[in-house]
Amino acid sequence: MTQESPPTPAGATELPSIPVYRPDLSGNERAYVLDCIDSSWISSLGAFIPRFEAALAAATGAPHAIALCNGTVALHLALHCLDVGPGDEVIVPSFTYIASVNTIAQTGARPVFAECREADWLLDPAALERLITPRTKAILPVHLYGAACDMPAIMAIARARGIAVVEDTAEALGCSLHGQHVGTFGDIGTFSFFGNKTVTTGEGGAVIANDAALAARLRQTKGQGQSLTRRYWHEILGFNYRMTNIAAAIGVAQFERLEQILARKRALALRYRAALAGLPVTFQRPIPGVAGSDWLVSLLLPRGTDRDRLMAEMAALRVETRPVFHCAHQMPMYETGQHLPISEDIAARGISLPSFPALTDADVDRVAGTLQTALAAQGLA
């Protein structure tokens, strides 16, 4: 209790509510944003943009990083710059956030839905291989919840056939496989810096690439196709997908604390696993060699759980949770009549727990206890 805290009313027992996510803006975020305002550099020119790009390049080991205004346009830009378009097919896991799928459709290409693996919930290379046709232009693996897809297997399949790979790395900043950061295996890696992502800029995104010519095309295309050396000379079709200097200012401050943020999130994930070890829940199990970044601690409830009821009971105890994503192949606009049993099972049973860096150990224990109470109410714990 500090002097600033309001006095607790006599008899009050209500605990503060625990959200799923709350960004930690406790470093230089405020100072850097004020710098933008004081200097009047508030649009997409300004010193924080190159600093932000350099920080992302350093964190991932990618030679080229380009800041963008969100993670969805990052995916669209990546696909567009790999010449994905009408008549093409792009293979994507059905169990993903909808942006991975919508951006394929936005290019005029057709999303082809692949099954995921039961253990790590991520794109199954064997399922992927079966879906390849002469029209397959690209593969879009998604590193969900801070774990890494089996990139060596996926890249072997892609390279043997000259198929491009865009890695959706929105949820996996800080995650590596055998020491290599995800997003650097394929042609392009895409990031989101939305308010609930490991690093946030409010709304924000980026692409990383190994190839200099591809990086130049990405940079030119995100800036209206303007020549990189001649102003108002537009050589190719482009978009305005630029990040603002204000957003980059927040991001630069966030990257200063990336290691602390990641360390705290890993510690939270370990504590959750220990606290829930006795319950009939199943965690995502990444493949060997993955150093995950534990974006949102997510788990599968036992079969037969009424998920909506469980989440409502946890909410009544002031613990917020969220369901995992629905399968894209079951969405009205993508309905394919396919049956992907593993993806459908995960989508039906998964929930994500509060996983933000300022969460205390006591909060984690309270969330775990609340989950146990809600499972017990259904005779499952």
Ligand X SMILES: *Cc1c(COP(=O)(O)O)cnc(C)c1O
The reply to whether 239 sits near ligand X by the rule CB under 6 A is no
Shortest Cβ 168–ligand X spacing (Å): 5
Count of residues interacting with ligand X (CB under 6 A): 14
Question: For ligand X, which is the closer residue by CB, 46 or 205?
Answer: 205
CB 27 within 8 A of CB 254: yes
Q: Does 284 bind ligand X (CB under 6 A)?
A: no
Token pair 């993508």 is at which residue? 334
Helices (H), 191-240: 212-222
Q: Which residues contact 171 (CB under 8 A, 6 or more apart)?
A: 97, 142, 143, 144, 145, 146, 192, 197, 198, 295, 296
- Contacts by 49-57, CB closer than 8 A, 24 or more apart: 49/243, 49/245, 49/248, 51/248, 51/252, 52/201, 52/243, 52/248, 52/251, 52/252, 52/255, 53/206, 55/251, 55/252, 55/255, 55/258, 56/191, 56/206, 56/208, 56/255, 57/208
- CB 77 within 8 Å of CB 207: yes
**Residue showing the smallest CB distance to ligand X in the complex:** 71
Task: Report if residue 170 touches ligand X, rule: CB under 6 A.
Answer: yes
For ligand X, the closer CB: 29 or 171: 171
168 binds ligand X (CB under 6 A): yes
Closer residue to ligand X (CB): 142 or 375: 142
Find the part of the chain contacting ligand X (CB under 6 A) among 42-50, 91-99, 241-249, 332-340: 91-99
Residue 171, interface with ligand X (CB under 6 A)? Answer: yes
Determine if 355 is a binding residue for ligand X (CB under 6 A): no
Q: Is 96 in the site for ligand X (CB under 6 A)?
A: yes
Residue 72 near ligand X by CB under 6 A: yes
> Which stretch in 163-171, 178-186, 269-277, 286-294 sits in contact with ligand X by CB under 6 A?
163-171
Place of tokens 């004020």: 34
| Annotation marks residue 222 as catalytic | no
Tell me which of 44, 60, 94, 192 binds ligand X, using CB under 6 A.
Answer: 192
Buried b (16+ CB within 10 A) or exposed e, 336-371: eebebebbbebbbbbbbbbbbbebeeebbebbbebb
- Select from 69-77, 156-164, 241-249, 346-354 the region that touches ligand X (CB under 6 A): 69-77
Q: Is 99 in the site for ligand X (CB under 6 A)?
A: yes
Residue 293 interacts with ligand X (CB under 6 A): yes or no: no
Query: Catalytic one among 137, 197, 222, 265?
Result: 197
Q: Does 205 bind ligand X (CB under 6 A)?
A: yes
142 sits near ligand X (criterion: CB under 6 A): yes
Is-contact 150 185, C-beta < 8 A? no
Q: Is 94 in the site for ligand X (CB under 6 A)?
A: no
Q: Is 188 left (phi over 0), alpha (psi -120 to 50) or beta?
A: beta
Binding residues for ligand X (CB under 6 A): 70-72, 96-97, 99-100, 142, 168, 170-171, 192, 194, 205
- Active-site residue numbers? 197
